[in-house]
């Protein structure tokens, strides 16, 4: 991208210019440089105004909502997620994107300690995904709902939620989600003094964490094992 001459870029139409800055933003996001990603997204937004495509606007607002969530700008994140939600709802066959956008809103609510609102929104996302027979958003919804229950001290409900998530057969294996769910399952099982079952989930999560070279989760697993 950096080899593209700026004058040539200015000669292209609004859609190409929008894509140029939007994908630069996604690249910076992928590299965990969230502030740089947001800067690119804001430049992309000036080009997006001239692009008459509702789904492009939805996807843009969705990505910006995630970026703001990552830097704990929760109110900005919710604002863009709601814009994305309106656009996705106006399009056909977008149940998956509606479900994942609802989860972004719920995650922000959870960070703002609005736990009952977050719980309700996660349930809405799960129900939508279940009705539409979409497996990954449904499993992801149960994972996040379980965390929400855990933060409220509803340990048994958290356990049920993680187990529901693991019971969903994904069309494509998702090792990261499986590893994280097994970690959270181990946590709540240890809290319920079910050590044998907890160790089983712990070991399964640790195998995946090592396979994925996920040092953060290896550290988390070591902590709960020590406790």
155 and 182 inside one domain: no
114 and 178 inside one domain: no
**Any residues with CB less than 8 A from the CB of 78 and at least 6 apart, and which?**
65, 105, 108, 109
| Cα–Cα dist 215/212, whole Å | 9
147 and 74 inside one domain: yes
Render pLDDT for 179-207 as a digit per residue (tens, 0 to 9). 999 999 999 999 999 999 999 999 999 99
User: Could you say which of 36, 52, 68 is where a domain stops?
Assistant: 52
Between these two residues, 128 and 94, which has the higher pLDDT value? Answer: 128
Confidence (pLDDT) at 34? 86
27 and 105 inside one domain: no
**Any residues with CB less than 8 A from the CB of 157 and at least 6 apart, and which?**
149
59 and 152 inside one domain: yes
Q: Residue 136 is part of a domain; what is its CATH number?
A: 1.25.40.10
Domain span including residue 124: 55-161
Q: Does residue 18 belong to any structural domain of this protein? A: yes
**Could you tell me the CA-to-CA distances from 61 to 13, 32, 116, 188, 198 in Å, in that order?**
21, 18, 25, 35, 39
34 and 81 inside one domain: no
**Percent of all residues in the chain with a pLDDT value above 70, rounded to a whole number:** 94
70 and 157 inside one domain: yes
Q: Does residue 39 belong to any structural domain of this protein? A: yes
Q: Does residue 168 belong to any structural domain of this protein? A: no
Confidence (pLDDT) at 69? 93
Q: Does residue 166 belong to any structural domain of this protein? A: no
Averaged pLDDT, 7-31: 80
Confidence (pLDDT) at 10? 54
């Amino acid at each position: 991208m950096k080899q593209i001459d700026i004058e040539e870029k200015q000669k292209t139409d609004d859609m190409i210019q929008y894509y140029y800055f939007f994908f630069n933003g996604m690249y910076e996001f992928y590299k965990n440089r969230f502030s740089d990603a947001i800067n690119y997204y804001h430049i992309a937004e000036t080009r997006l105004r001239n692009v008459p495509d509702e789904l492009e606007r939805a996807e843009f607002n969705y990505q910006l909502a995630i970026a703001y969530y990552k830097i704990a700008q929760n109110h900005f994140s919710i604002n863009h997620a709601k814009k994305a939600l309106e656009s996705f709802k106006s399009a056909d066959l977008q149940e998956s994107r509606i479900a994942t956008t609802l989860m972004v809103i719920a995650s922000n609510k959870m960070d703002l300690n609005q736990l009952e609102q977050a719980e309700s929104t996660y349930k809405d996302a799960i129900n939508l995904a279940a009705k539409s027979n979409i497996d990954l958003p449904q499993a992801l919804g149960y994972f996040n709902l379980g965390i929400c229950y855990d933060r409220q001290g509803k340990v048994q409900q958290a356990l049920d939620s993680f187990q529901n998530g693991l019971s969903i057969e994904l069309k494509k294996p998702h090792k990261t989600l499986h590893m994280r769910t097994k970690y959270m399952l181990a946590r709540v099982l240890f809290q319920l003094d079910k050590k044998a079952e907890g160790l089983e989930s712990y070991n399964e999560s640790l195998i995946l964490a090592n396979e994925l070279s996920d040092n953060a989760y290896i550290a988390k697993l070591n902590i709960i094992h020590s406790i």
